[in-house]
Amino acid sequence: MTLRVRIKYSKRYPATLIGHLDTMGVFQRGMRMAGWPLEFTRGFNPRIKLSSGPPLSLGVSSNAEYLDVALRRRMSAYRSGLLKEKLIEGLEVVDISEIEKDDPGINTIISGFDYQVIGEVLEKNPPFSKCSLREKDGEIFVRVMKVDGNIANPSKVSGLKGCSYKKIKTLFVD
């Protein structure tokens, strides 16, 4: 009996300084150390069956990142709580919930995301300016929605792929 769980977690400093694959490795080690009944792929090199949402760029923090994991059987709340203790500083499990076997994967569910960039806006890009970022699959627009002191909230107006933090960051002072 295989079941799936969805882990919602936050990523804050200093965990923002490790990349996406290393973050997945931290979760895999944490789940093994906590004694989770993990489901593995078949074949010569078995791996934990897990999938994650789109990767965060290096240095970016998040309040809501998601990870789907396949388990061989149900586990106790105690084992769920153990994972929280096994993670590195900056990674915090917010919620763990069981999902149906036929529910769509995490990459299917996520339809967009917003960035909040903290820094001074360059004079050449006043509030409500539009910046076009060209990608292979079309054009993506980023608009600075509001400027409040040193906090600006850019959001993607259309498209999803290619709207990276690095490209949005070019609108702001380092």
Could you list the residue range(s) of the whole structural domain that residue 123 is in? 117-169
For the stretch 73-114, pLDDT in tens is 998 888 888 999 999 999 999 999 999 888 888 888 887 777
Please state the rounded mean pLDDT for residues 122-134: 44
Whether residues 122 and 91 share a domain: the answer is no
Domain assignment of residue 65, yes or no = yes
Average pLDDT score over the chain: 76
For the stretch 145-170, pLDDT in tens is 444 544 444 444 334 344 455 555 55
Whether residues 8 and 47 share a domain: the answer is yes
User: In the chain, which ranges are E strands?
Assistant: 3-11, 50-52, 62-71, 91-99, 117-118, 130-135, 138-148, 151-158
Whether residues 72 and 99 share a domain: the answer is yes
Overall domain count for the chain: 2
Domain assignment of residue 174, yes or no = no
pLDDT at 13 over 60: yes
Whether residues 11 and 67 share a domain: the answer is yes
